[in-house]
A and B are shown apart, each in its own frame.
Chain A
Amino acid sequence: MQTDLLCSLIPLFPLIGFAINGLGFRKVPASLVGPISSAAALASFAVSLMLFSGFSGQPVKATLFDWISVGSLHINFSFQIDQLSLLMLLIVTGVGSLIHIYSIGYMKHDEGFGKFMAFLNLFLFFMLLLVTGSNYVIMFIGWEGVGLCSYLLIGFWNKNVNYNNAARKAFVMNRIGDLGFLLGIFLLITTFGSVEYTDIFEQATRFAVGDKMILAITLLLFVGAMGKSAQIPLYTWLPDAMAGPTPVSALIHAATMVTAGIYMIVRSNVLYTLSPVTLEVIGVIAIATAILAASIGLLQNDIKKVLAYSTVSQLGYMFLGLSVAAYSSGMFHVITHAFFKALLFLGAGSVIHAMSDEQDIRNMGGLRKHLPLTFITFLLGTIAIAGIPPFAGFFSKDEILAHVFLHNKALWGLGLVGSAMTSFYMFRLLFLTFFGEFRGTEAQRHHLHESPATMTLPLIVLAVLSVAGGLLNLPGGGWLSHFMEPLFAGSAQVSPEAFGHEIDHSTEYMLMGISTAVAIGSAIAAYVVYISRHAVPAPESAERSGIAKLVYNKYFVDELYEIAIVRPIRALGDALYNFGEFIIDGIVNGVAWIVRAASAQLRLLQSGSIGFYVFAMVFSIAVIVIVRFFVRF
């Protein structure tokens, strides 16, 4: 069937790109590396578009081969194309292609350019597996694969010890989440006897709301999502992950990989709808993450760190949407966020590129004259993320907040606070970077230049999408929510009361008005502080008082983890090591000694004398016959 072929082509292209660039690293000419990997990404995007245009509304499943069969459990290597995977495919390949093109300009002069592009392709391959797989095991392969690629890419400049530590931190944090995910899969297998989405969701509709097993499964799966999508308490890796090259931050840590957790929950929406307790938990964690991260973002001075905390906070909003069963709103925010966050990161990359690898916004300022294209696109991205109409971020965030409002007024209020902070720190970033006087060194001033076309072109495309992305799902039943409706049929069936709250128009307009006012108000506040009063954040060494100190140091969460978790585990490890030295080693060595001694004895049987061999054979035959026929037992 043609769809089968197309489905397998999508992940195949990046894999081929990876093979060429990876195996031919240092052999493939540098001028070919970029086109090859970008072509691979673009080809996948083209195929995704073909699938999308030919999509009939019915999910299509393409089985490549029977992969593992153990007893009654059969795991196929198969892909599933439905509304959700199509959306994710388009985001991943579309934004991915743009970032590939951008990387050609950004990384061209790097020594490991070929390796970098190969890793990007590999990442794309695993991400595509993750979103197209038709069962949890394929998803898990992709899940692990993107974790691996993220590790490789964060530590890409592996000569720097701090970067390596950041990579390791990301990997370990993700592993904690993965363990939860894996346990969740095991529970799924014992409960449903299958890992296929279609089987599980079909069976799940027969469960009652609040089932204990489903509660355990959903909580475990959410632990996985916490790791991958950087929620409290597993969020600290994401800001550190900014050690990687900027395109990586854009691709992995903003647009695609971190949304894997959201994808997984939307995919399993039936299970989550069945478990309201889990949704409550998600809601609490999500709002806490959104506000905490946003507050840290207020005082950060590294351009990428600000964006990183903003990502964590926006992910919190997405989970907030999911927690009130507004799955399509969550996905909508995933899409718009992919556009504007990729745009912001790439813009930041362009700035860093122009500033000769300077990332501290205290040393920037006034860049709008030197980098006009970057400035305009960055401005559009900032407006979009701040939630000012009619840009993309406004519609998606507003939709989430509207659903939250219906569900819980307190959560809505907190969400609004976070939204105000978002607007403030984003405009602070914009003003400090692009307005005012230049605060860098003389050498940097001379070097200032607009980035090459391979870098600005993706910026322009993403800017257009950030502006117009809201059209996908205008308030009052837009295209997207209609398109995704079939995905939630199972959820609607098990728990009709979770859906169908129609918000009346006057309330909706009022909510819109409030959030717009809050966003614009924050923007004005930022303007007053950083433009009118020319305030510049204090340098690293300055004394900070009370709360400012707490926030500036990210609430000392890393230090807390160090004391509360890392050190006790080290101590435990030492204790176990000492225990193992004496007892376990003794047992192991003892057994090994016995085997060796037995081996030394058995070896002597092999005398080399054929007379003995024949005798042994005859003797054995005689023993067998006697035991078999004459001994009764």
Chain B
Amino acid sequence: MLPIILLSVFGIVLLFMGFLKSKVLLLPATLVFILAALATTFMDWGKTYLYFQNMLLTNNLAILFTTIVLLSAFMVVALSNSFIEDEQAQPAEYYALLLFSLVGAIMMISFENLIMLFVGVEILSVAMYVLAGSDKHSPRSNEAALKYFLMGAFATGIMLFGIALLYGATGTFVVSGIKSYVYTNAYGVSLLLYMGIILLLIGMLFKVSAAPFHFWTPDVYDGTPGLFTAFMSTVVKTAGFAALFRVLSVSFVGVYSFWWGTLAALTCLTLLIGNVTAVYQTSFKRMMAYSSISHAGYLLIGLTALGTQTKQALVFYSLAYSLATISAFGVLLVVSRQRQDTNGVNENFDAFNGLARQNPLLGFVMAVSMLSLAGIPLTAGFWGKFMIFTTAADKGIYWILVFAVLMSTVGIYYYFRVIIAMYFREGAAEPVKVAPFYRYVLIAATILTLVLGLAPGLLEGLV
């Protein structure tokens, strides 16, 4: 559990580095810190350890999820070069908050005690509330922060209530303890447990923005500065699903018949709302918000059809989704900054008009990421969807499968709007410039997406 300690210390170090005259060191230092945390994560590879008096548990699955989270954070930070030039920005604080939120994410991924889940969720969320409002002079950013905070606090309260009820029913906070309670009382489980499950689930579903608890998502994603939106939609989601998977697959697998129907209904609702609403958007960023809702829906299918294949599917899907989302936001950041319209940065679809001609690299990166999100073969996204659908087929829940496939065809429509704008529309003539390091990050993400699309077996056997 060295990464948790390291990241906390590094966060404080970064705060103090903010006092230095020059801001140049901050970005490389943060990258190094994240890499150090990533390296120490792998010290526990292949083993299962309980840490801090049974508070946290690391195993290969947790390490993989941690890796995805840290990798996403690494790429997001690497894309943040604009802070250095911005007078208003306070990069030291931003980076410190990012590192702190990573601590929360890792706790959510590897909790063994429900208290740790709660603490992790709070650490992650509080940091995100602040980052959502980090653009202090933009009313939209302030609105986003306040909305996120109010709704988030409400959801956390419900989750805490759920945890309390679980404790009331089982007398323990420990995940495996709840599991043994469920198994020993298979026929006479307390009503409190059921209520606790529902409330805990609702709290977590809020965090991963599943319908009908998704209302905050479009407004918050839209108002938050683009970089932190990318962070939110990857790190928070991955951590949230890791936590959901752990609690469902360990504690509540014995009462699968109780919760799967509820989860299945919410899954379909999420898929429907996410995909269908995305169709009508004119802002690319808002479309990405709905797309993130719809991807939460696909991931939920894996949980609904909980089985032996689920964890592999979740890991692969999270990775594919994170890579594609970050590269999409990376391109959006550059383009929106250089194609300003009267309202400041232009985050609409039309900002991408003719991009493929002025900057073929950016066009290609964006095209691959859209194809991956849409789940077109030869990209990682296709195999992610394929694995998720396989879990549902294995479990025999075919109706959800049919629904998901229908919805993903709707998805193709709005993802391809970007590609059409880039390749078939005429746009502004001036070229879009990209800094070299920025470009390398985008290329790396694209190559990873393609490699995973060509050889999905690479990750096999790790979990």
Contact = CB atoms under 8 A, between A and B. Distances in A.
B57 interface: no
A89 B265 CA distance: 57
Contacts of B195: 625, 629
A506 interface: no
Interface in B280-321: 280-281
Given A66-B461, A603-B277, A628 B150 contact: no
A70 B198 CA distance: 34
A596 interface: yes
A288 B410 CA distance: 53
Interface stretch (B120-128, B208-216, B330-338): B208-216
A190 interface: no
Nearest to B278: A599
B262 A624 contact: yes
B150 A599 contact: no
B9 interface: no
Given A66-B457, A67-B457, A68-B456, A613 B276 contact: no
Nearest to B277: A602
A148 to B, nearest CB: 15
A599 B280 contact: yes
A538 to B, nearest CB: 53
Interface stretch (A170-178, A349-357, A521-529, A614-622): A614-622
A625 B215 contact: no
B194 interface: yes
A161 interface: no
A50 interface: no
A276 B317 CA distance: 48
Pick from B280, B456, B458 the residue with the most CB of A within 10 Å: B280
Contacts of B413: 592, 595
Contact of B457 (A65, A599, A610): A65
Contacts, number: 83
A541 interface: no
B460 A66 contact: yes
B194 A614 contact: no
Contact of B194 (A77, A592, A598, A629): A629
Interface in B427-463: 455-458, 460-461
Given A595-B410, A606-B215, A613 B457 contact: no
B277 A621 contact: no
B213 A624 contact: no
B135 interface: no
A69 interface: yes
Contacts of A600: 280
Contacts of A598: 276
A178 to B, nearest CB: 17
A620 B456 contact: no
A254 B157 CA distance: 75
Measured as residues with beta carbon below 8 angstroms from the partner, the interface class of chain A is: 20 to 34
Contact of A602 (B155, B273, B458): B273
A611 to B, nearest CB: 10
Interface residues of B, number: 35
B457 A595 contact: no
Interface in A74-119: 75-77
A617 B277 contact: no
B202 interface: yes
A602 B458 CA distance: 40
B202 A624 contact: yes
B151 interface: yes
B218 interface: yes
A364 to B, nearest CB: 47
Contacts of B154: 614, 617
Output the residue of B155, B279, B460 with the most chain A CB within 10 A.
B279
A546 interface: no
Nearest to A602: B277
A603 B212 contact: no
A169 B235 CA distance: 50
B277 A614 contact: no
Nearest to A625: B198
A539 interface: no
B147 interface: yes
Contacts of A75: 457
B93 to A, nearest CB: 26
A471 to B, nearest CB: 43
A272 B202 CA distance: 61
Contacts of A595: 276, 279, 410, 413
A618 to B, nearest CB: 9
Contacts of B277: 599, 602-603, 606
B57 to A, nearest CB: 28
Contacts of B455: 65, 67-68, 77
Nearest to B383: A68
Contacts of B279: 595-596, 599
Nearest to B143: A608
B213 to A, nearest CB: 6
Contact of A617 (B213, B218, B456): B213
Nearest to B199: A621
Given A595-B279, A599-B280, A629-B194, A620 B151 contact: no
A69 B202 contact: no
A142 to B, nearest CB: 15
B276 A616 contact: no
A76 B460 CA distance: 12
Nearest to B146: A610
Given A65-B458, A77-B455, A624-B262, A606 B280 contact: no
Contacts of B202: 621, 624
Contacts of A599: 276-280
Contacts of A608: 219
B457 A69 contact: yes
A608 B195 CA distance: 30
A617 B455 CA distance: 42
A310 B150 CA distance: 81
B77 interface: no
B276 A606 contact: no
B461 to A, nearest CB: 7
B371 interface: no
A77 B454 CA distance: 11
Nearest to A74: B457
Contact of A610 (B150, B206, B281, B460): B150
B151 A613 contact: yes
- Highest count of chain A CB atoms <10 Å: which of B154, B215, B216, B455: B215
Interface string B182-198: 00000000000011001
A542 to B, nearest CB: 52
Given A65-B455, A68-B457, A610 B212 contact: no
Nearest to B197: A628
Contacts of B155: 617
Interface in A558-606: 592, 595-596, 598-600, 602-603, 605-606
B158 interface: yes
Interface in A291-332: none
Contacts of B457: 65-69, 75-77
A577 B279 CA distance: 28
B460 A613 contact: no
Interface in A335-362: none
Contacts of B215: 605-606, 612-613, 616-617
B443 to A, nearest CB: 13
B158 A621 contact: yes
A160 to B, nearest CB: 27
A218 B202 CA distance: 57
Given A605-B215, A621-B202, 5 more contacts: A599-B278, A614-B150, A617-B206, A620-B212, A629-B195
8 tightest A-B CB contacts, nearest first: A66-B457, A599-B280, A613-B215, A620-B212, A599-B279, A602-B277, A67-B457, A599-B276
5 contacts: A69-B457, A602-B280, A603-B281, A621-B158, A628-B198
Interface of B: 146-147, 150-151, 154-155, 158, 194-195, 198, 202, 206, 212-213, 215-216, 218-219, 262, 273, 276-281, 390, 410, 413, 455-458, 460-461
